[in-house]
C-alpha cells in the first residue's frame, strides 16, 4: 500500500489504524487548541497536585482530607461556556491523578468523589453533559494517571511517594484490572469521549503495564477515542498522539521530554499558564498574553496543538488570572483563528522571529518578534501570488528571488503579539 506522496506507508500509522480513528486524528490535528484542567482533592491545599508526595502526607491523612472536598460552586455549564469563549476545541480533565482519588463515580473503589465526599455529585458526568449539550462543540478527553500513591496494589513502587505509609506489598495484576475496569466506566458512561490522556507511566517505565491490551480495550469500546500517552517516549503501536509536557515538540527545557518528533501522529504541547498544574495559591507567575499567543503560534508552526492548563479552586470556581487570559485568547482567535485552526506546519519551521502555518496553498507567516521593516524567508517551494495582512487585508509588498521571499512589514504594535501575513501561493 502506498501512503501520501507515494511513499511506502508506515506500518502502524496507516495500515492498521481504522478509518474512524484516522478521522479522529485529523480532527485532533485541526483542533489546535485545548483546555487542560487539573482539579482534585489536592486543590484544597493550594499547593499543586503533587502535594501528597511533596509533603509526604500519609494515606490516612489524605483520606481524611478527601472527606472534606465539597466544591459546591462547581458549574459545568460555566466551565464549558468559558472554554467556548476561549476558542478551545476540546477539554482534557483529570479523572484520577497520582493521588489516586477518582473524580468520577466508580464501582471499582469507594475512594471517589460521589461516595467519599459530601459533594455526592459526579463532576465529569456534568461536564460531559455540558460538552454534549446544544449540539456539542467541545470534545471531552479524560486524563488518567497510571501511577497511584493510594492504591494498595500499586506495588512494587516506582520513583515516587515512598513515605506515605502504604503497605510494602500488593497485587500488580489486580491493579491493572482495576485500571481497565475504571477505563471501561469512563468509556461507557460519559457518551463519546475524545480520548484518554495517560500520565505517570514514567514512575516505573519498565513495569509490565500490558499497554497493548489496555489500548485495545479503549479502541474496542470507542473506536474513535484517541490514546494520548504522556510517557515522554517515542509513540508505540496503538498510540494516537505524541504529547510534550511544558515544551514545544523537539525541545526539552523540562528535562524529561524526548527529542524525537513523530511525523506520523498528531502532536500536542501541554503547558501551565503559571508554573503549576493543580491550584497553587501562591503561584502568581502567570504568562503574559504575548507569551501565550507565542506558544499557540509556535506550536501550530510545528503542526502541534496547545493544551493550555488551568487549576480551578477547590470550591469549583476558576480564578480571574485564568479566565482573563482565556477570554483574551478567544478574542485574539476571533481575529487570527483562520491562521491557526485547521492548519498544518508551514514551509518554514519555527524561527526566533516567529512561525509559519499553512492550509492548502495558503501560507500564514506569523511574525512574533521582529523589529525591522524587512523579513527574509527562505524559498517556500512555490511562487507567491499575493500577500496581505490577515488583519485588515492591506496588501504586503514582497520580493521573490532564488534565495527566497522578502516581505515588507508594517511596524510592530505593542498591543498586537502577532502580525500575520497571508501568502497565497501556487505554481503560476
Q: Given the rule CB under 6 A, which residues bind ligand H79?
A: 38, 49-50, 159-160, 199, 202, 245, 256, 270, 277
Shortest distance, CB of residue 58 to ligand H79, whole angstroms?
19
Buried b (16+ CB within 10 A) or exposed e, 37-65: bbbbbbbbbbbbbbbbbeeebebeebbeb
Q: Which is nearer to ligand H79, 259 or 411 (CB)?
A: 259
Shortest distance, CB of residue 258 to ligand H79, whole angstroms?
13
Shortest distance, CB of residue 273 to ligand H79, whole angstroms?
13
Q: Which is nearer to ligand H79, 48 or 330 (CB)?
A: 48
Shortest distance, CB of residue 254 to ligand H79, whole angstroms?
7
Q: Which is nearer to ligand H79, 24 or 37 (CB)?
A: 37
Shortest distance, CB of residue 202 to ligand H79, whole angstroms?
5
Q: Which is nearer to ligand H79, 111 or 277 (CB)?
A: 277
Q: Which is nearer to ligand H79, 310 or 396 (CB)?
A: 310
Q: Which is nearer to ligand H79, 275 or 369 (CB)?
A: 275
Shortest distance, CB of residue 351 to ligand H79, whole angstroms?
28
Amino acid at each position: 500500500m502506498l501512503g501520501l506522496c507515494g511513499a511506502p506507508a508506515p506500518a502502524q500509522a496507516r495500515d492498521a489504524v481504522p478509518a474512524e480513528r484516522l478521522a479522529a486524528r485529523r480532527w485532533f490535528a485541526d483542533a489546535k487548541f485545548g483546555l487542560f484542567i487539573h482539579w482534585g482533592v489536592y486543590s484544597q491545599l493550594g499547593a499543586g497536585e503533587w502535594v501528597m508526595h511533596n509533603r509526604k502526607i500519609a494515606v490516612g491523612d489524605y483520606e481524611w482530607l478527601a472527606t472534606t472536598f465539597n466544591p459546591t460552586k462547581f458549574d459545568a455549564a460555566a466551565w464549558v461556556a468559558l472554554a467556548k469563549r476561549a476558542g478551545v476545541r476540546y477539554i482534557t480533565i483529570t479523572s484520577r491523578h497520582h493521588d489516586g482519588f477518582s473524580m468520577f463515580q466508580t464501582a471499582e473503589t469507594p475512594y471517589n468523589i460521589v461516595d467519599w465526599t459530601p459533594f455526592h455529585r459526579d463532576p465529569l458526568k456534568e461536564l460531559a453533559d455540558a460538552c454534549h449539550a446544544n449540539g456539542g462543540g467541545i470534545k471531552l478527553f479524560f486524563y488518567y494517571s497510571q501511577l497511584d500513591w493510594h492504591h494498595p496494589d500499586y506495588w512494587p513502587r516506582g520513583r515516587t511517594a515512598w513515605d506515605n505509609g502504604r503497605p510494602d506489598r500488593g497485587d500488580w495484576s489486580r491493579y491493572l484490572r482495576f485500571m481497565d475496569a475504571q477505563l471501561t466506566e469512563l468509556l461507557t458512561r460519559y457518551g463519546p469521549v475524545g480520548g484518554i490522556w495517560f500520565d505517570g507511566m514514567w514512575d516505573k517505565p519498565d513495569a509490565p503495564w500490558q499497554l497493548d491490551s489496555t489500548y485495545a480495550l479503549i479502541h474496542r469500546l470507542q473506536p474513535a477515542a484517541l490514546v494520548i500517552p504522556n510517557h515522554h517516549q517515542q509513540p508505540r503501536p496503538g498510540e494516537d498522539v505524541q504529547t510534550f509536557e511544558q515544551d514545544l515538540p523537539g525541545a526539552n527545557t523540562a528535562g524529561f521530554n524526548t527529542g524525537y518528533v513523530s511525523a506520523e501522529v498528531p502532536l500536542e504541547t501541554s503547558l501551565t499558564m503559571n508554573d503549576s498544574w493543580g491550584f497553587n495559591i501562591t503561584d502568581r507567575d502567570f504568562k503574559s498574553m504575548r507569551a501565550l499567543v507565542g506558544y499557540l503560534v509556535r506550536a501550530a508552526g510545528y503542526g502541534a496543538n496547545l493544551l493550555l492548563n488551568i487549576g480551578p479552586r477547590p470550591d469549583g470556581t476558576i480564578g480571574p488570572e485564568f479566565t482573563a487570559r482565556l477570554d483574551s485568547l478567544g478574542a485574539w482567535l476571533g481575529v487570527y483563528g483562520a491562521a491557526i485552526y485547521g492548519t498544518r506546519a508551514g514551509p518554514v519551521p519555527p524561527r526566533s522571529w516567529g512561525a509559519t502555518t499553512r492550509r492548502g496553498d495558503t501560507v500564514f507567516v506569523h511574525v512574533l518578534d521582529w523589529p525591522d521593516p524587512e523579513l527574509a524567508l527562505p524559498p517556500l517551494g512555490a511562487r507567491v501570488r499575493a500577500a496581505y495582512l490577515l488583519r485588515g487585508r492591506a496588501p504586503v509588498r514582497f520580493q521573490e528571488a532564488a534565495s527566497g521571499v522578502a516581505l515588507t512589514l508594517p511596524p510592530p504594535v505593542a498591543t498586537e503579539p502577532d502580525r500575520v501575513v497571508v501568502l497565497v501561493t501556487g505554481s503560476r
